[in-house]
Each structure stands twice: as C-alpha cells, then as structure tokens.
Structure 1
Amino acid sequence: MVIKVFFPQCCNRADSGLLVGRWLAGYDSAVVLAVIHYPFIPSTVKQYIQQSRSGVQLSVLGSWSLPAEGDMESFLRDLSSIFPQRRWLQISRQTGKTGFSCSVLNTERKEEEEREDESDQKVIFIHYEQRKVMLSQLHRDESEGADPNPEPTSELTQMFESVSRSQALFFLDKYDEGPVKSTHWQSEGREASIVVELCKQGAVPVCSVVSAVLHLMFHVFPLPFVWSKLSTCVQLSFRTERLKKLFSTATAPDHMTFMRKSNTFVSVLLDVALGLLLMSWLYRDDHISSIANALVPAADHVAKELKGLLQWLMGAPAGLKMNRALDQVLGRFFLYHIHLWISYIHLMSPFVESLLWYGGLSAALGLSMAVSLLSDMIALLTFHIYCFYVYGARLYCMKVYGLSSLWRLFRGKKWNVLRQRVDSCSYDLDQLFIGTLLFTILLFLLPTTALYYLVFTLLRLVVVVVQGVLHLTVDFINSFPLFSVGLRVCRPYTLADGVKFRVLCDEPGTCLHLLMEINPLKLSSVVRTYRSPNDSRRKDSWAALINKLFIGELVYPWKHKAEKTD
C-alpha cells in the first residue's frame, strides 16, 4: 500500500512538533498544513485546531522531529494515544541525508498486525509550495459536468481545496504571542481594505441613482426606441449596470465572481485612462477645430461623388439597357435627397465645432464611450446613404416578392396565409391574363431597380463595416479579461490547469520525494473562461446575411439585443 503525504516546503526546516492537516477522503493521502512546535499542551493544541477550522476538518496527523533531537521522537510517538487517529505519521529527518524517513502507526490494530503491515507500507512525499497552492485556483475539466459548484472528488482537487480553505491557520505569525507556535506560509496581509470599503459604500448609491435616472429615460416613449438605436446610450446603460454589479456586496464572492469583478474594474480603469489620453489629444493644439473645418468639405466631396454616381446610373451604366422612365424618376428622387442633405449640413456647419467640443468630453467616461459616440456620428453623417439603401431595398423587395407570388400563379399554386404553406389553387382566364401582365411589367422593371439597389447596398455595407469595427472595439474593451490575462502573465500559478511532478530526492534508506509544480492555464483558456459576459446581441450568420441581401430585407445599422445573460 502506498501512502502519499503532501508536505509544504516551508516546513522542511521546522522545529520538532506535531503535524496538522487532514486525510483526504477516499484516498490514502494526507495533506500537511502546518507544524506545531514543542513545547505545547495537548489540550491547548486541540482547542487551537477546533478554533482554526474554516471549511475543512483539521486534525493532528502525526509527529515531526529533527535528527538532533533523538529523544523527542519517542515522546512524540506516545502522543498518538492523546490525538487518536487511525494512522499516525512519524516523520523525521536523518543526519547527512536530504530525504525524510517515515513510519506509519496503525493505532486501531494490534501490534502483531502492525508489524506485518509496516513492511508493505510505502510512503511517498510530495513537496508543494504552500503559497502558490494557497493562491491558485485549480480549473476542472469541462467534461466533469454542468454543475457550477461540483463537489471536490479527485485527490488533487481535494488537496487544493484543503490548502485554500485553511486560511485561519495562517493568520498567526510564528513570532506572535499565541497559545501555540507553528511553522507555515506567512500571508502578506490585506492592503487598502479600508479605502476599498469606503469606495464600495460610496459607489453603490451613486450607481443606483444613475441607474434609476437611466431607467426613467429608457421607459418614456419614444425615448426607449431612440436610446436603443444610439450606441452611446446603450454603452452608458451597460457601463452603469456593470459598475452596479461591481460594487454590489449582496453575496459572498466566489472565485469566478471575484475574477469577474476584477476584470470589470481593470477594464473600466484602462478604458477611462485611454479616454483621458484621447481627450488630452483632442483639446491640445486645436485638433477639434481642424476636424470641424475638414468635416464640411468632406461632406461636400461625398455629395459630389454621389451626384456623379447618380448621373452615371441615369445614363447607360456599363452599357446596360435600362428602363428610361423609371431610371429618370429614381435618379431625380435621389438627387433631391442629396440636395436636402447638403443644405442641412451647411445649415449645421456653424455648430459643428461646438458639437465636437462638447462631444469630446464623453471621452472622460472612457474610450468605449467616445468610440460609441463616433459610431453614432457616422450613422448621422451617412443617414442619406441609409435612406437611399432603404428606398432601393424596399422597391427591390416588393418586386422580388411580387414576382415570386406571380410565379406561383402560373404553376397553379398560392400562399396560404392561415396555414403558412403553399397550396394548390385553380385560376380563371382573367386572373391568368392580369397575372401575366403584371409579371411582365415587374420582370422588365427589375434590372433598373436591382442596379440601384446593388449600388446603394454596397455603399451601405461600407458604412456597416466601419460601424461593425467600432462595435467590435467597444465589445473588446468591455469583455476582454485584462486582469485575468495579467494575472496569468505575472503570476501564472494562480490559474492552474493541473500539476506535474519531478523527482526531488530518491536516496537509499529514505522515502521517495517528488516536487509538485503547477501547470498554468493556457492564455486561450483564460480568455474563454474569464471573458466578461457582454450584453450578448443576436448576430446574423453569413448565410442569413446573404439571404437578406438577396431578397432585399434590410440590414440594420444596429444590432438586435438578445436575452440578457448574467
């Protein structure tokens, strides 16, 4: 039988005393957490262990003695009757050897049976760094189940849980005055806890007030419809909800909650820092005036290019034969809209610099807020292109649906609205004649409409791609787990994907000694595991997008919200 003893490296040179830890349920393994030094009073040790329980059941596993204290070994062996255990580990160091020797006493068996089993028992020491195991989080394999809080069943999981839940043992330093003296990992303490508590207490009412104001704004018609289409308002609402969850203290935080809050805090902090840098650049060297002065000429240039494009479409584009009457009507209709838009831009030109100056202040709330505002400005500046796209898409869609309906007429079919299916139907001669006439008209007008739809759809897709890049930037800032990635880079042992062992000492006459090292979690797994849940929005697949473009359905400049996920 092989008994594994997880032994902390900080106790290798500890004074003689008692080993405190726990036996792992279902395994022949023991986890040593601390060494209580001699002299001590057994009743005081029992009371100290009972008061130090924090999530795990601690007990005295055995004794620990140094080679210079040979008389102490027999004394510590006799303590097995005071601290009853099924197995009593008697570990000692030997002079001139690096490894330990260990004998296992089966206190519940008779001496004859004990002598018979001593030769069959083999002890393997697994040395671990208590600080790293204490601060690390062992990530279970996803195949273990969907339960978010599964019970620790594996030997390694129980070992990590035993060390992490025994923090009460590590609060008392070996030099402090206390009932017992012990050797274990010394914690580094808590920093700025008072400041953190004051910030949390003050931030909760502020976030609640802002959330209440936004709630009223978003529920007064027609403001909810307008705010849901503006990226700036959506981002402001999302940021407020995240800050409200960040400073909430409703439940005791577990590891995932702590990491999620830390990622949120770091992402918000970095977002605001980048926003302040952008803000300092905008208001330095009069960059806002330069942008405002270049905005109106750029709008005029775009309008001039659109006029040239429409004049090209009103002629014979690429040698195509177009319907002259419909081509002239559509061209003049779009030219009139361009004229209205340019008049509006020139009317607003005196206020552009002021709007940019006040809009630049949004960068103080973060780079994501400034990027969202830029997305809204692009949507407003290209609103005429969106109108052209909507007009062309609606005309094209009407003709496509009309042609598909008339095509069913020729085949003796019709669309059953109640049953949502195609049924057979018989038509008389007048219906077939009118259907043929309408089908011919729509079919010959389709190329002209399709050309206008194709051109303005391509222009619209350019704007949508630019807005999509801006939306992806905001989503990346909001959801990227920067704190977790930084923790993985600076302290890779805190996010453990498993462990590996290497032989530390295998001297004759001593037990086998292994060193347990922590395998850090992969960066891809860190990003996937700790990525902050964004306001997940329903995104169309490529097949659905192509189908919409083919039949003329609108591709909106905003994303449709899906169900909120926590």
Structure 2
Amino acid sequence: MVLKVFFPQCCNRADSGLLVGRWISGHDSAVVLAVIHYPFIPGQVKQYVQKMQAQSGVELSVLGSWSLPKDGQEGMESFLRDLSTIFPQERWLQINRELGKTGFTCQVVHRDQNGKVVQREAKKKVEGGDEEVEEEEEEKVIFVHYEQKKVMFSQLHPVENGVPHPTTDPPSELRQMFRTVASSAPLFFLDRYDDGPLKSTHWQTEGREASIIVELLKQASVPLCLLIGWLLSVWSWICNLRVFSLFPLRFLSSKLSTCVQLSYRSEHMRTLSSRTPAAGHAHFMRKANMVVSFLVDVSLGMLLVWWLYRDEHISMLANALLPAAEHVAKELEELLQWLMGAPAGLKMNRALDQVLGRFFLYHIHLWISYVHLMSPFVEGILWYGGLSACFGLTFALSLLSDMVALLTFHIYCFYVYGARLYCLKIYGLSSLWRLFRGKKWNVLRQRVDSCSYDLDQLFIGTLLFTILLFLLPTTALYYLVFTLLRLVVVLFQGVLHLSVDFINSFPLFALGLRLTRHHRLAEGVKFRVLCEEPGTALHLLMEINPLKCSTVVQTYRTPTYSCYPRDSWAALVKKLFVGELVYPWRHKTTKTD
C-alpha cells in the first residue's frame, strides 16, 4: 500500500509544528498546506482550522506533525507525537527530517475512534489445512514536492487523448489536489508579521503578495463601469428607436461592416461593465481578453489617427482617390473595347458582343459621372471618417471595407449581370439537353423522370439549344472577366474582415499569460526523482506542463462574427462554373454570454 503526501517546497525547512491540510477522498493521498509552529495551544489550533474550513469550504484537518531538530528542542519530537491523541485522526503522519539529509522519514500511526493505537494485524493464508501467517506489507510513503504558489494560481485544463473531462467524469486525484490548494486562500492570509497566537509557514509566510497598481485599478474600475453602463443604456435607447427598425435602415445596418462592428463592441462593453463578478476561470479570461483586445484596438486606432492628421495625409489621399477611380474606369473601358473586338483571337458573336459591351460602357459612364459628382465631398468624408479610428483600428478597417464596396459597386453590378445571363444559358442548355434524351426535371419529386416529346417540341428545343450554344462563348467570356474582377475585390475585403476578426478574437491576454506566467495555464504535470536516499522515503518533484500556444489560442479565442467561407472550395468552384452568385465571405453571428 502506497501513501502519497503532497508536500510544499516552502515547508522543507520550516520549524517543528503541526501539519495542516486535507485527505483526498477516494485516494490514499494527503495534501499538506501549511505548518503551524510551536508554541501553540491545541484548542486555538482547532478553532483556527474550523474557521479556515468554514471560509474556504475545504475539509481541513491536522494531518500530523513535522519535526526538524534544532538546538534546545530535544523533546519536541515526542511532544508532537503525543498530540495525536488530542487531534483524533484515523491516520497520523509523523514526518521527521534529520540534519544533513535531504529526504524525510515518515511514520503513519493508525488509531481507532477512541484514539487508541491500532496494531496492524497479520494476514492468514490457509493451504492444505495448515495455517501460514504472512506479515502484511508495510505501508510505503512517497513525498511529492510541489511549488505552492504555482499550484495556487494554476488552472488545470482538460487534455484530450483519453484524459477524463472534469465536467463529465469524477475529479482525479491530481485535479482534487489543485482544487484544494486553490480553494485554501484564507489559510494563507496568516503570516509571520501577524500578532496572533499562531505562527505558520506557507508560500506567503514572508508577507502577502499584492500589487498597488492592481488595487488602484480595481477601485477606479467601479466609477468607470458605472459611466460605461450609463453610456451604453443611452446607446441602447437610441438603437431601439422605431426609426431604425424601418426596412432601409435595418437592411443597411445589417450589411455595413461598420454597423456590425459597432454592435459587436457594444456587446463587449455590456459584458465588461456588468456588476456581476467573473464566474470561474473561463469567464475571467474572457473578460481579460476583451479588455486587452479593446486597448490594443484603440491604441492602433490612435496611431492611425496620428498618421492621418499629420502632414495633411488626408488631403493627399483625397486628391489621389479621384485620379485612381478615373484610372480604374479607363482600364475597364479599354478592357471592354478589347472584349468587343476579337479578344485573344477568339471569334465572338458580333451582335451580342456589341450589345453587352455598350451596355457595360454605359454603366461605366454613369459611374464616372457619379464619382465627379461626389469629388467635392471626398475630403470631408475622409476627414470625418478618419475620426472613427479613435474607437479602434477595427472601426477604420470596417469603414474602409464599406468604402471599397461602394467604390466598386459598378464591378459588382457587372458581375451580377454577367452571372445571371451566364447562369440562364447554362440552365437552359442543361434543360434542353434533358429534352434530347427524353427526360425532364420533376419539380415535385426533385428528380429527373422520363418523358415523351412530340416532333414540334423537339424541333423548338433543337433550335433553342443551337442558339444558346453558339451564344454561350461570348457570354462566358464576359462572365469570366467580371468574375475575376469581383473575386479580386472580394479577396481584398476578405483580408480586411479577417484582420478585424483577428483583432477582435485573438486572446492576447491569455497568450501573454502563457509566455510570461506559463504555470498559470497548465496542461498537466510531470514528475522527476528529487531524492532517493537510503533510510528515507522516495521524493518526487512535481513540475507543471504549460499549455501549448496553439491550444491557448484555440481555447480562449473570443467568439465573434467571424468571416468564413460559406461553402467548401469544391462547392465554390461548382457555383462559379454554373454561374450562381457567390458571396464567399459572410458574417457569422455568434451570441456571447
């Protein structure tokens, strides 16, 4: 039988006294949390342990005695051994450390309910009518040394590959040990500077660790949260006005990236300004990641504002925007003129080619007129739009995405026209191809059934099939060119959306915690032999395995309205081939708690 004792490293050289800790239920293990030093009164120790048990909710008890010989304390070991009658326990640990040795010796004393020492009985083995007495194996003790501060602040995460999950399976021995140390914070408030009758040794014996900056931030966060809550209530009242629920405004707010980002940040502010404290480690990490993400976002936005309004960069951008739009329109005109001729030596349908080319050229002229009409207001729009970066870089990127969508609206129109015309011909050809094979599409059953056609139907079908087939190359060429232009614009907007999503969801706080305080995010533990001296127990050192950086990002990534491809790449290629409208980037709305 093996008894494991989790012993804090800070108590290796503590003065003689009593061991306070907890027996782990369901396992032959004990967690030592502190050593209470002599002199003490046993009644005061009992009251102190009961008080700490009520405050922490942990079943604390006096596990045994700890003896470290010093000059003038020759009878201390026998005195501590006799205290086992005052603190009734089924098992009493008598841990001794000799000077000049690294290891400990431990004797386990078993007592009954009346406090009497129970001698371990021998086992009887019957073989062939004869009784043979076989001595019971002596109970072995293994000391597992741990760093109390690291275990205190560590969060043990569930690991895959067969390791039990804490919410669905019973807690393991190691998880109970971590939970015991983390829940025993009130026990560590007693340090050597207190004037109380008891003195103890633990990880905060030299004084409580605290940060003045953190305490000041806690005090300042209360009025700040009240102010943010009031501003959010005003903002919610404005958003709930009936005028914003009308069709045009509701439709625009759902399509504009700036409005979506504003709604997302408002949800963040509501979560951060709530008066309810963080419930659990996951909720705390989520709030901390939101705060760091918001601060980084605003800092990058202020840097952008500083660059925009320095040396008249906005005027330079406004003066360059109109020539750039005219240059794009000129390139599109040249492209259409090339398509209306003999592109790459291909022979197109002359009549359809001229109709489509003039139709698209007319739209380009309309767009150039629109750009010239808006040119006096471009600088003002950029000046006031640049102020949105004060709310964060994500707002500036979202506004840039909306401006790109508006400036390339003619390309979108070209793509829609070409895709609809191409899709109509593809579906017409597929339907007429089924006519030649004596089949038709059953709308009710959503399948292809056999069908008989008369001669007139076959003649008309053949005529239409021939017309659509010979007109398809011209339409397909226009569709291909404008689809490529549309995909370039969509790719640029996708990069902007992914950048916004990265800033919103990347767990900067968790990753920084992993890099600077890697023990805070634990994936498991590893053990190595610390000491194995003759005449002493086996001593192991427990070290914490930190989470991998990729696991940290995956675990603590903040849910957001991420932009993801709606379909797989194969489905996208199929839609492009048949001419269906493709919107590869979408807003995935995820409700947060």
Say whether the fold is shared (TM-score over 0.5): yes
Partner of 1:127: 145
SS at 1:241's partner residue?
helix
The superposition leaves residues 44-72 of structure 1 with CA deviations (integer Å, 9 ceiling, x where unpaired) of 22222222122321111101122122311
AA partner of residue 242 (structure 1): H
The superposition leaves residues 469-499 of structure 1 with CA deviations (integer Å, 9 ceiling, x where unpaired) of 1111011111111001100110111111111
Shift of 1:267: 0.7
Deviates more, 1:530-539 or 1:286-295: 530-539
Q: Per the alignment, do residues 560 and 485 of structure 1 end up closer, same or farther by CA in structure 2, a change over 3 Å counting?
A: closer
- For 1:175, which of 160, 178, 193 is the aligned residue? 193
Partner of 2:79: 75
Partner of 2:106: 102
Looking at structure 2, the residues matched to 146 and 500 of structure 1 have their Cα atoms a distance apart, in angstroms, of 17
Q: What are the residue-to-residue correspondences of 1:117-516 with 2, within 5 Å? A: 120-142=138-160, 149-150=167-168, 153-186=171-204, 187-189=208-210, 191-192=214-215, 193-216=218-241, 219-250=245-276, 252-516=278-542
The superposition leaves residues 334-357 of structure 1 with CA deviations (integer Å, 9 ceiling, x where unpaired) of 001110101111111111111000
Looking at structure 2, the residues matched to 438 and 155 of structure 1 have their Cα atoms a distance apart, in angstroms, of 77
SS at 2:27's partner residue?
coil
Shift of 1:558: 5.1
2:560–2:589 contact (8 Å) kept in structure 1: no
Partner of 2:64: 62
2:158–2:164 contact (8 Å) kept in structure 1: no
SS at 2:36's partner residue?
strand
Q: Tell me the percent identity.
A: 72
Shift of 1:256: 0.8
Regions of 4+ moved over 6 Å: 114-119, 145-148
Instruction: Find out whether 1:528 has 2:549 as its counterpart.
Output: no
Deviates more, 1:382-391 or 1:121-130: 121-130
The superposition leaves residues 290-309 of structure 1 with CA deviations (integer Å, 9 ceiling, x where unpaired) of 11110001111111110000
AA partner of residue 42 (structure 1): P
Shift of 1:562: 5.2
1:538–1:562 contact (8 Å) kept in structure 2: no
AA partner of residue 78 (structure 1): D
SS at 2:247's partner residue?
coil
Q: Per the alignment, do residues 91 and 388 of structure 1 end up closer, same or farther by CA in structure 2, a change over 3 Å counting?
A: same
- For 2:119, which of 99, 112, 122 is the aligned residue? 112
1:537–1:562 contact (8 Å) kept in structure 2: no
Looking at structure 2, the residues matched to 464 and 148 of structure 1 have their Cα atoms a distance apart, in angstroms, of 44
Q: TM-score, normalised by structure 2?
A: 0.91
Q: Per the alignment, do residues 206 and 150 of structure 1 end up closer, same or farther by CA in structure 2, a change over 3 Å counting?
A: farther
Q: Per the alignment, do residues 128 and 57 of structure 1 end up closer, same or farther by CA in structure 2, a change over 3 Å counting?
A: same
Q: Per the alignment, do residues 146 and 272 of structure 1 end up closer, same or farther by CA in structure 2, a change over 3 Å counting?
A: farther
2:110–2:119 contact (8 Å) kept in structure 1: no
2:103–2:536 contact (8 Å) kept in structure 1: yes
Looking at structure 1, the residues matched to 281 and 157 of structure 2 have their Cα atoms a distance apart, in angstroms, of 11
Looking at structure 2, the residues matched to 475 and 72 of structure 1 have their Cα atoms a distance apart, in angstroms, of 65
1:412–1:424 contact (8 Å) kept in structure 2: yes
Partner of 1:549: 576
Looking at structure 2, the residues matched to 265 and 499 of structure 1 have their Cα atoms a distance apart, in angstroms, of 30
Looking at structure 1, the residues matched to 516 and 143 of structure 2 have their Cα atoms a distance apart, in angstroms, of 29
2:7–2:143 contact (8 Å) kept in structure 1: yes
Aligned residues: 566
AA partner of residue 505 (structure 2): S
1:467–1:557 contact (8 Å) kept in structure 2: no
Partner of 2:588: 561
The superposition leaves residues 166-189 of structure 1 with CA deviations (integer Å, 9 ceiling, x where unpaired) of 111112323113352211122423
SS at 1:326's partner residue?
helix
Looking at structure 1, the residues matched to 588 and 2 of structure 2 have their Cα atoms a distance apart, in angstroms, of 57
2:494–2:563 contact (8 Å) kept in structure 1: no
Shift of 1:557: 7.1
Looking at structure 2, the residues matched to 176 and 151 of structure 1 have their Cα atoms a distance apart, in angstroms, of 42
AA partner of residue 64 (structure 1): W
SS at 2:171's partner residue?
coil
The superposition leaves residues 524-546 of structure 1 with CA deviations (integer Å, 9 ceiling, x where unpaired) of 11111111111245632111111
SS at 2:13's partner residue?
coil
Looking at structure 1, the residues matched to 592 and 220 of structure 2 have their Cα atoms a distance apart, in angstroms, of 31
Looking at structure 2, the residues matched to 537 and 468 of structure 1 have their Cα atoms a distance apart, in angstroms, of 8
Q: Per the alignment, do residues 146 and 358 of structure 1 end up closer, same or farther by CA in structure 2, a change over 3 Å counting?
A: farther
Looking at structure 1, the residues matched to 164 and 249 of structure 2 have their Cα atoms a distance apart, in angstroms, of 40
AA partner of residue 224 (structure 2): C
Shift of 1:145: 8.4
SS at 1:142's partner residue?
coil
RMSD between aligned alpha carbons?
2.1
Q: Per the alignment, do residues 99 and 146 of structure 1 end up closer, same or farther by CA in structure 2, a change over 3 Å counting?
A: closer
Q: Which ranges of structure 1 fall in alignment gaps of 5 or more residues?
A: none
AA partner of residue 189 (structure 1): A
Looking at structure 2, the residues matched to 110 and 55 of structure 1 have their Cα atoms a distance apart, in angstroms, of 30
AA partner of residue 202 (structure 1): L
Looking at structure 2, the residues matched to 541 and 212 of structure 1 have their Cα atoms a distance apart, in angstroms, of 41
2:34–2:200 contact (8 Å) kept in structure 1: yes
SS at 1:92's partner residue?
strand
Looking at structure 1, the residues matched to 45 and 122 of structure 2 have their Cα atoms a distance apart, in angstroms, of 30
Partner of 2:24: 24
SS at 1:369's partner residue?
helix
Shift of 1:553: 1.1
Partner of 2:127: none
1:214–1:237 contact (8 Å) kept in structure 2: no
Deviates more, 1:555-564 or 1:279-288: 555-564
Looking at structure 2, the residues matched to 179 and 203 of structure 1 have their Cα atoms a distance apart, in angstroms, of 47
Looking at structure 2, the residues matched to 171 and 219 of structure 1 have their Cα atoms a distance apart, in angstroms, of 56
Looking at structure 2, the residues matched to 444 and 291 of structure 1 have their Cα atoms a distance apart, in angstroms, of 47
Looking at structure 2, the residues matched to 200 and 279 of structure 1 have their Cα atoms a distance apart, in angstroms, of 26
Looking at structure 2, the residues matched to 436 and 424 of structure 1 have their Cα atoms a distance apart, in angstroms, of 18
2:498–2:562 contact (8 Å) kept in structure 1: no
